[in-house]
Amino acid sequence: MKISIIGTGYVGLVSGTCFAEFGLDVTCIDKDKEKINDLKKGIIPIFEPGLESLVKKNLDEKRINFETNIRKGIKDSQAIFIAVGTPTRRGDGHADLSFVYKVAEEIAKSLNHYSVIVNKSTVPIGTGKKVYEIIKSNNKNLSFDVASNPEFLREGSAINDFMRPDRVVIGCESEKAKKILKELYRPLFLLETPILFTKRETAELIKYAANSFLATKITFINEIADLCEKVGANVSDVATGMGLDGRIGKKFLHPGPGYGGSCFPKDTIALVKTAQDYKADLGLVQHVVKSNINRKKNIFKRVKIACSNKLKDKTVTILGLTFKPNTDDMRDSASLDLIPALLKEGSSVNLFDPEGMEEAKKYFIKNNKIFWFKDSYSAMKGSDALVILTEWNQFRALNLQKVKTLLNNPILVDLRNIYDPKEVIDFGFSYFSIGRPTSLFK
């Protein structure tokens, strides 16, 4: 079976590569000529564990190829996936679907045989219907179907998530489309992966609802962590006690500086806007959005308090810049709130991230108070405080004695709770974490 993927961003490249690994003939299409030329050489534009080697493997075995021309790229394809960006639209918070609609127009002008057009991008309810209307209006005699097949990939573990998913959701309106998409996912049928066929609108809503629920869970434990600090409770124990309840589960009960990335922030906002359009009340998700925005702004206050409210002319080291480990994605990362706030206060910042340095530099104009380092310990030397912002594995086992000798002041602000408070305090640090009052460990 031949399929095409339009868009070689995170979703498109991972999906196309994994479909090729299933044994399908895959063409990935993108207008960015430089990116396509690199991909043809096996050079990928993002960091995702295992992806580069899988791209090279399928290039060598001629199951995947890359193309800039849509007409050539979709020739003979039985399924055409739209995997372009749907960022938050400036001004009103709705998802910006201009890229999706533009691709739909180009498909209509280029396609001359039956195919299933599949929305892989995260899109609001009703987008599939609109895509159908756009294609039909531009090519009245074309036989085609439009389906929704939302992705549930986690950055940092996307290959495994695609190959061994919890479920596959497909929204389609015809038996012909269903038959093609079942064949597409046949390797997962053999693994007894649950595959849920629904209406298009239902599939579109499932993705938004799932992401908004996970964002709600993160926000809930963050607010509980704040309460723990007030009443002298330990949020780690609270989360464990909650997570042992099978109805709740332990995942996404880890307090921190707030959620970020390419999905949760924009999807929660888009769901709220969709609800408002249909005059439905989603007050809970509205609160989640507001609470998370405030949390990322307020992490600066935590650092300032840890430094006795004296940040002017001080140097703060930040370890971890990406929104989570095992990715180079900086979108909506807490570092994008913390670093400007520190600079505004008159601090200098020493920065290190194992994979996100090049992406991070795109977000910050040259500043004589921003310093970039190649490893953790170099970044700490002569610093007045150390902040752990992203829980990369290499930050979990720092030599605390060495850290203490490198810092001007032994101040450690652990915004991911990756250290044992008692151990750090016993080393002589002033230690600050989330939802675990220092008084509990003295």
Active site residue 28: no
Averaged confidence pLDDT in the chain: 96
Q: Which tens digits make up the pLDDT trace of 342-401?
A: 999 999 999 999 999 999 999 998 889 999 999 999 999 999 999 999 999 999 999 999
Residues 259 and 188 in one domain: no
CATH of residue 179: 3.40.50.720
Residue 335 falls within a domain, yes or no? yes
For the chain, the domain total comes to 2
Residue 299 shares a structural domain with residue 390: yes
Please identify, among 175, 198, 221, the residue that sits at the C-terminal boundary of a domain.
198
Q: Which residue type sits at 280?
A: A
* Confidence category of residue 190, pLDDT binned at 50, 70, 90: confident
pLDDT given at position 92: 78
- Name the helix (H) or strand (E) containing 195: strand 195-198
Task: Out of 18, 28, 172, 263, pick the active-site residue.
Answer: 263
User: Does residue 442 surpass a pLDDT of 60?
Assistant: no
25 alpha-carbon distance from chain centroid: 27
* % of the chain beyond a pLDDT of 70: 99
pLDDT at 88: 85
**Do 394 and 263 fall within a single domain?**
yes
Residues in the chain, total: 442
Place of tokens 């002017």: 312
- Of 198, 227, 256, the position where a domain reaches its end is 198
| Under 8 Å between Cβ of 349 and 318 | yes
234: in domain: no
- Token pair in block for residue 309: 């409210």
Which range of residues forms the domain containing residue 386? Answer: 239-432
Are residues 272 and 376 located together in one domain of the fold?
yes
Residues 334/368, Cβ–Cβ less than 8 Å: no
Domain membership of residue 224 (yes or no) is no
Cβ-proximal residues to 283 (8 Å cutoff; 6+ apart), any chain: none
- Closest to 351 in 3D by CA, of 319, 394, 315, 325: 319
In a domain, 219, yes or no: no
Cα–Cα distance for residue pair 442/428, rounded to 1 Å: 11
The reply to whether 138 and 261 lie within a common domain is no
Rg (CA), the chain: 24
Same domain, 259 and 399: yes
| One domain for residues 266 and 132 | no
- Asked whether residue 162 falls in the same domain as residue 25, the answer is yes
Q: Which of 223, 221, 247 is nearest to 236 (CA)?
A: 221
Residue 271 CB contacts under 8 Å (≥ 6 apart), including other chains: 208, 209, 212, 282, 285
Query: What order do you get walking across the sheet with 411-414 strand by strand?
Result: 370-372, 348-352, 315-319, 385-388, 411-414, 430-432
- Both 133 and 83 in one domain: the answer is yes
